[in-house]
Structure 1
């Protein structure tokens, strides 16, 4: 029995606990993983009405039926107020809702350059209150361009377009700031054209590399936000910036006016004596970039010209090093005054994660060669940074060349160099460029390098992983692993590049081969939101080689780039370059729809509706009698791309197969846009696009259908899949066309895929939606040409650009064939989106039928927008064993074959539903289930 004094001490402790954590009186759920605009604790958010989200964790892992019935959000100006459960910025009050994502902020007006603290509490299915979540925060950026006071500055070194190599050094900038006291809040916002690094008193700030994310620098620059109060001190402080040339000289961004051909930067910071200053508080100091900053060339220079096949590398000249360049002790005698460069670029926050180093890679062997050079095998093809310790005499130049192919010393002109300084030794390491390849040739060393002197890192955008997958089929595990590794190596700078070594462009057509694979395997909400803004920025500009009738309106040196101010789209974003066709620009319709289906994000539809409308209006202006006509120049109307033996057959042509596929894709765009319009309540646009789709479908069927063969155009997989996905065949013929596709795969092509980037993406999309795991499995289980297994048999460590390996000039690390990556999760593991319930509020578990594959078991853990979904199925002796986890606040529909009837008596939270489309159906409430279906 407790003594009275002990009892009151206990009560006091409980009271204190509840004041911080609310009451957890038997609540079945607890909110966690709080996000603002898809990100945890983001900095510099420039939305005045940001959106909140969280997932629910079950407090009883053995419980069932957990869900949210209401929530309350508190937002406070200080962490102390939040801990006291005071929402002085916003107290939402109790809102009866089961929504836990995309909750729009509705508090008092937010102030620029402030930090806000928030937490959430929920009520569960019985009305019990959860504990308060752990506190989270976000900081605001700048809501008005008038608030930005920094000037654009650069050095006086200007890039010479006529030179064979880049001629300018990467510049340093510095500013000395005197403070009367130790600050408590100081947030620096840095936007640059070209990469940058930030230093305060000699210390590098942040772990982000190759900052900022890539933007269309004819329109926009994104600022990166850094908190630096703890790096500043009373007295003299040096704020320093280091710029990398990189995208500042990219031909697609070269303007005739408004911006110099040199890296430039704008930055500003308000320094406060309080951690949470009042809205109208005056700062201790405000520092902005202007001509009071000093500049000096650094020892680093871009090699190459940041151009097609000439992305180059970096040269580090250790003889030019100034060790204390970013400290107060540096001698500024020979430093110049920075040059101010007026520019009209729009500024916005970088809300996507930055790039970071991942996966340290150690070489597997170093081979001495007869010519005195050394070949380093890194063991895997990758895109990223390398680090090599070198020794020699002052002035020695050590050269590095990078190759994807063992027989070639260098591919795609990727090379770097290091000039040894007085110390006689040093370390080459990338800073403002990256390489791609597996082999490194090192020339100029006087002594063989030790294998421990060499390292590599994959560099990619710092999004979180979402999925783990494994199966009994080792080939499928290899394909899944290599698809993911390839995807990661392509995601530098907030968009997916086609290849990291030759072009580095964000092709819309290639995005169809990667986007659903990306969403089913990674947390990419912020990533794709950013990329869609890039597509909005490039709209209205002519693609690669349109008719250049008026050179005075051309704004790119190498491409057309005329500003047409209509709905036309180039084939890449944010990079402009490259050829493509309607399926490339069409990503602006399909990607927002995929995001809505996957994340339940309606705002992405609203933000891009004008973009979608403009694109479809442009295509409609190029139709005649319901058929889309060829438009643009030679490279502006591509159909499928890089199918087996495509280079020999000729891809860029005017044949019926190209016209058929592009028309079918146009109809697919129209039907998808109509769905978007329905969700948004835009009934007029929905009707218009449905009518156009139906009219074009009839015209396509009349023009291209082969009645004796139940096929379209050339009978290829690409055209059959495109026609079926776009609902071209009349309902009475659909089954026959589907059977013709099946015959094309199984008999004509003997189980091998015969499609390229566009056609293959459409094919896998169709077969996933049709539940044809059997046909997909036949294609991904092949080991002879053409197949993913053929790549494995030929030593691939990444997915190739072409089905053929040895054709010169093509990439071995490419976005072409990554579309199986989504199928492993929603097909082989059986975790499928419910098309009627976006955002995985409801989802489907459907294991493959026993005859569809040779796989004995598969398991996946998928971190959905509602929480962790697990599916583990196995088949043995005719029986089916299932282990399924349904996260709180969601519902699963389990679909099984008629012979796989379950005994569900052991679970009160499973309901048998009516059979549908040949499946037994069961509804599973949140919880963890172990089930069997025995013969």
Structure 2
């Protein structure tokens, strides 16, 4: 019996192993993951009628090679239950023979407004084996038609007084009691506000986003956020409360003369259904809309400052006016007023980008008690965000907080907040509708010393995901990379990149050159930049800084001048209008879509912005003479490079020959980039026209500015030389000589230091990255004396400065100026490079720095690309290269090495090709993990 049992068990085991082995043999080599809709994970309130899907593939066997996709099937269902039955009642794509996994356009039934849709996908691998289903993902729709908006714009009756020295209005509370006959199954509340908002239901705050919604051009558009409130509603009385923050509602460029109230306003509505999944045509059991039936009263919070240049201020909280029941049914409404309706007409658009969140909790590193009774708190790092401070005192005491970037100053850029203590004698100040920027906080008015536990801080930024990791043997490079990323994150508030978070908060196009590729190589920013490009489309046609103070019929932003021209002209910032700049500022509308296309393979971003690009180039063309761009606009409309070393002393806003040369070279760079865009879109006529103009202007620039004696242009600065080379100004026969002149400028004239500013430096690093000149970049980023990033480190910087100089008054120590090394650490040092012939990383290049180009002995880098995680770890010991590379499924890598770095590939049958190109040994790597050593 025992022998029989053992034999039976063995036979069963063999049979089981056989079944499992057969199943494994038939298992797909890939599984879908990271499902996205319009770049976002499970987004709420999208108003895109035919959204695009994307996913990446993960290998099911980490030791295997060559995984790829040969087909996909997408299911979209109206309920999770339907989807679990593998029924796509909204869309079943059927099997599509394709290796595409990004930007797949929805082609199902017409989507309905205010619905949630569930989706998943399967993929076929290289052998035609079908993968497991992905996890279920979802998205909800917003309101597709402007006529669906029934809500009125409402607010309080306090109006901002432009002439007052400080903001004079309180942030208003608004509330509405809603009676329900039963607990609802579905209720999505859409909120568009001019100024920030917070939502409360029955006393509970809804959502984790702060400083909502994303910033937009409030002269044209309002963005709405979507909130699922069904779970917070109940049978009987419910209160929906909206708290408005003044903020952008009084920003001077957004204030119109007639149809715009000088107060924060909101339009919100929700269709409340009894069922969780209403059928097509079902009517809601009730509608909630903002109108004059809502009640309002001033809250205890007020903006300090005027949301203006150098006067963004802070917040004042008066605890004596607190009412913890303001958004609950228990609130006494007897002293509340009826809300005021305002007849505002704006285009309503979904936010379509992640909201702001609190990140990186920050604690004080020291607190100093000073002789004057104040306390000086060192938070240890410069940051833009919120602070939360516990305070004690007598009722009516005012505790004041002053924020500073500089150790010697109590306050910089007029950033300050205050807290008036209530009857309890204690309380907590916390930001709500503003943020500060600085490292030090000076506290005045306390009777007792604060402790470290009383003070907390958070960085605030848009809630995008990280996409890269980098580390190397050079500690200075690790510091620069870390501080560049920290600075970038502190600048990305509200769905665009601000130049600085304390003084201006403007979305400068020129500064975007210094940040955009750093952003794309380190974060998932497809939705972020798509939204910012819409902001640029909104502001086109308005004169920038120049102009007279005109009457209300012609002034779009009379506080800063600027007439509506309705041509292709662009202001220098978006969505903010203000600020000076030059052709490279507006020119971001050409280069950023092209960078996005190269990086994400997104053709739609080129299509959506093509007319914007045409208008901009038409405007520039109207200011050319004999094929040379002429100075246009006013004093602040034709800047060239900006903030190079010692620029403040030399004078930056000038009419020198180098400004004209650089702007003309950039104009040609714009033309050539636009011609590439037109060719991708099949617009041959525009491509030919722009390429012809680029060549004619290049010839004119060369004839006018070339110095034959030393193969330079204009003043021979590295900014000018880089712009000329990037724009292909030099004739082919002279290009190498001009490149050597640039090398001489960096290594000999400037002894390896950078001598460029925001725009010039961004163009310089762009050129050197494309040319593979890691040696020249490393010479600049490895310096520790002025001017350099290492000089910032040596002088105690925790963020990247606005200027190469630290102690010049009035400039920012947290700025977008010099963030361009952030892209180089990924594509230069880690060696994970785009293949310019294959957008979207379906094919990419791995090219570590050649021996001797840097002093770096090893580097480890990852990039979570549109096709999945790419990894490159390399090291050199005694001139012997070692590589660990991961190529994600559905992609191909081209490994490029100098002959001295040749590796042994004999153990990898997956390497399809070996060869040489432009001095490189080339190896084609299929998906998989590789460990390559020198033969």
User: TM bucket by the smaller chain?
Assistant: over 0.9
Alignment of 1:334-349 (within 5 A): 334-349=335-350
CA contact (8 A) 1:73 1:118 kept: yes
The equivalent residue for 1:569 is: 570
Unaligned runs of 5+ in 1: 15-21
Distance 1:262 1:784, change over 3 A: same
Report the Cα distance in structure 2 between the residues aligned to 1:729 and 1:323, rounded to whole angstroms.
69
Could you say what secondary structure the match of 2:589 adopts?
helix
Q: TM-score, normalised by structure 2?
A: 0.97
Q: For residues 324-343 of structure 1, what are the structure 2 equivalents within 5 Å?
A: 324-343=325-344
Q: Does 1:222 align with 2:255?
A: no
Q: Which residue of 2 aligns with 1:773?
A: 774
Q: What residue is the counterpart of 1:825 in the other structure?
A: 826
1:679-758 residue pairs with structure 2 within 5 A? 679-758=680-759
User: 1:820: how far off?
Assistant: 0.2
Q: Distance in 2 between matches of 1:600 and 1:517?
A: 17
Partner residue of 1:104? 105
Structure 1 residues 666-681: aligned runs within 5 Å: 666-681=667-682
Q: Deviation digits for residues 280-331 of structure 1, max 9, x if unmatched?
A: 1111111000001000100000000000000000000000001100000000
List per-residue Cα deviations over 1:583-615 (Å, max 9, x = no partner). Answer: 000000000000000000000000000000000
Note the C-alpha offset of 1:547. Answer: 5.2
**Shift in Å, 1:558:** 2.4
Q: How far did 1:557 drift? A: 3.3
Mapped pair 1:119 → 2:125: no
CA distance in 2 between partners of 1:24 and 1:54 (Å): 25
Q: Give the corresponding residue for 1:846.
A: 847
Listed one character per residue, the Cα deviations across residues 447-497 of structure 1 (whole Å, up to 9, x for unaligned) are: 111111001000000000000100000000000000000000000000000
State the match for 1:585 in structure 2: 586
- The list of structure 1 runs, each at least 4 consecutive aligned residues, that deviate by more than 6 angstroms after superposition, is 1-4
Residues in 2 aligned to 1:573 and 1:87: alpha-carbon distance in whole angstroms:
41
Structure 1: distance between partners of 2:132 and 2:249: 50
Q: Residues of 1 paired with 2:842 and 2:634: CA distance?
A: 45
Q: Secondary structure at the match of 1:922?
A: strand
Is the 1:896–1:921 contact (alpha carbons within 8 Å) kept by the matching residues of 2?
A: yes
Q: For 1:68, what is the secondary structure of its paired residue?
A: coil
Q: Where do residues 645-660 of structure 1 align in structure 2 (5 Å cutoff)?
A: 645-660=646-661
TM-score, length-scaled by structure 1: 0.97
Q: Distance in 2 between matches of 1:831 and 1:548?
A: 51
Match of 1:73 in 2: 74
- Which residue of structure 1 lines up, in the alignment, with residue 164 of structure 2? 163
> Paired residue for 1:93?
94
Contact 2:198 2:242 in 1 (8 A): yes
> Structure 1 pair 920/756, CA: closer, same or farther in 2 (3 Å)?
same
Distance across 1 between alignment mates of 2:35 and 2:278: 24
**Change in CA separation of 1:701 and 1:555 when aligned onto 2, cut-off 3 Å:** same
1:554-590: per-residue Cα shift (whole Å, max 9, x none)? Answer: 2323212211100000000000000000000000000
Report the Cα distance in structure 1 between the residues aligned to 2:397 and 2:814, rounded to whole angstroms.
Answer: 33
CA distance in 2 between counterparts of 1:367 and 1:549 reads 52
**What's the secondary structure of 1:71's corresponding residue?**
strand
Residue 550 of structure 1: how far off its partner (Å) = 6.3
Note the C-alpha offset of 1:906: 0.4
**Cα distance in 1, alignment partners of residues 551 and 343 from structure 2:** 27
Equivalents in 1 of 2:439, 2:161: separation in Å?
32
Aligned residues of 2:374 and 2:444 also touching (Cα < 8 A)? yes
Change (3 A) 1:158 1:711: same
Q: What is the match of residue 18 of structure 1?
A: none
Structure 1 counterpart of 2:214: 213
Spell out the pairing of 1:615-630 with structure 2 (5 A cutoff). Answer: 615-630=616-631
State the shift of 1:274 in Å.
1.1
Q: Deviations over 1:810-864 (max 9, x none)?
A: 0000000000000000000100000000000000000101110000000101100
Q: CA deviation at 1:24?
A: 9.9
Q: CA deviation at 1:913?
A: 3.0
Aligned length: 923
Q: How does 1:789-804 map to 2 (within 5 A)?
A: 789-804=790-805
Match of 1:274 in 2: 275
**Secondary structure in structure 1 of the residue aligned to 2:349:** strand
Residues 1:878 and 1:367: Cα distance change in structure 2 (over 3 Å): same
For the 8 Å contact 2:550–2:561, the answer to whether it is kept is: no
2:154 corresponds to which residue? 153
> What SS does the corresponding residue of 2:248 show, helix, strand or coil?
helix
The aligned residue for residue 369 of structure 1 is 370
How far residue 552 of structure 1 moved from its aligned partner, in angstroms, is 4.6
Asked whether the 8 Å contact 1:23–1:130 carries over to 2, the reply is: no
CA contact (8 A) 1:192 1:263 kept: yes
Aligned partners of 1:279 and 1:703: how far apart in 2? 67
For the residues of structure 2 that align with 1:99 and 1:273, how far apart are their CA atoms? 40
Q: CA deviation at 1:26?
A: 1.1
Q: Which residue of structure 2 aligns with residue 17 of structure 1?
A: none
Asked if structure 2 preserves the Cα contact closer than 8 Å seen for 1:547 and 1:632, the reply is no
Instruction: Name the structure 2 match of 1:185.
Output: 186
Separation in 2, partners of 1:832, 1:571 = 30
Q: 2 CA distance for matches of 1:151 and 1:834?
A: 50
Residues 420-455 of structure 1, C-alpha deviations (whole Å, 9 max, x = no match) = 000000000000000000000000001111111001
- 1:290 match: secondary structure: coil
CA apart distance, 1:914:
2.6
Where does 1:287-686 land on structure 2 (aligned, <5 Å)? Answer: 287-546=288-547, 552-686=553-687
CA contact 1:24–1:130 (8 Å) conserved in 2: no
- Deviation string 1:694-753 (CA, Å, 9 cap, x unpaired) is 000000000000110110101001000000000000001000000000000000000000
SS at match of 1:736: helix
Map of 1:83 onto structure 2: 84
1:553 deviates by: 1.1
Q: 2:549–2:558: 8 Å Cα contact kept in structure 1?
A: no
Contact kept in structure 2, 1:38 and 1:525, CA below 8 Å: yes
Report the 3-state secondary structure (helix = DSSP H, G, I; strand = E; otherwise coil) of the residue aligned with 2:733.
coil
Residue pair 1:190, 1:267 contacting (<8 A) in 2 also: yes
Secondary structure of 1:733 counterpart? helix
Shift of 1:3: 11
Q: Name the residue aligned to 1:63.
A: 64
* Counterpart Cα distance in 2 of 1:168 and 1:878: 68
| 1:911 corresponds to | 912
Per-residue CA distance 1:602-661 (angstroms, 9 max, x = gap) = 000000000000000000000000000000000000000000000100110111000000
1:764 and 2:770 correspond: no
- Give SS of 1:553's match: coil
For residues 72-99 of structure 1, give each alpha carbon's deviation from its aligned partner in whole angstroms, at most 9, with x where no partner exists.
0000011000000000000000000000
State how far apart, in whole Å, the 1-side matches of 2:694 and 2:205 are.
55
Aligned-pair CA distance for 1:902? 2.4
Whole-Å Cα distance in 2 between the matches of residues 77 and 524 of structure 1?
Answer: 29
CA contact (8 A) 2:72 2:121 kept: yes
Partners in 2 of 1:551 and 1:32 — Cα distance? 53
Residue in structure 1 matched with residue 926 of structure 2 by the alignment = 925
Shift of 1:544: 1.5
Contact 1:674 1:685 (8 Å CA) reproduced: yes
Q: Distance in 2 between matches of 1:135 and 1:783?
A: 51
Looking at structure 1, the residues matched to 748 and 701 of structure 2 have their Cα atoms a distance apart, in angstroms, of 26
Structure 2: gaps of 5 or more residues: none
DSSP-derived class of the 2:913 partner = strand
Secondary structure of residue in 1 paired with 2:453: helix
1:232 paired to 2:233: yes
Partner-residue secondary structure (3-state), 2:187: strand
2:857 corresponds to 1:856: yes
SS at match of 1:47: coil
Aligned to 2:266: 265
Contact 2:548 2:562 survives alignment (8 Å) = no
C-alpha displacement at 1:173, in angstroms?
0.3
1:236-282 Cα shifts (integer Å, max 9, x gaps): 00000000000000001010121100000000001111111101111
Q: Give me the whole-angstrom Cα distance separating, in 1, the residues matched to 2:879 and 2:451.
A: 56
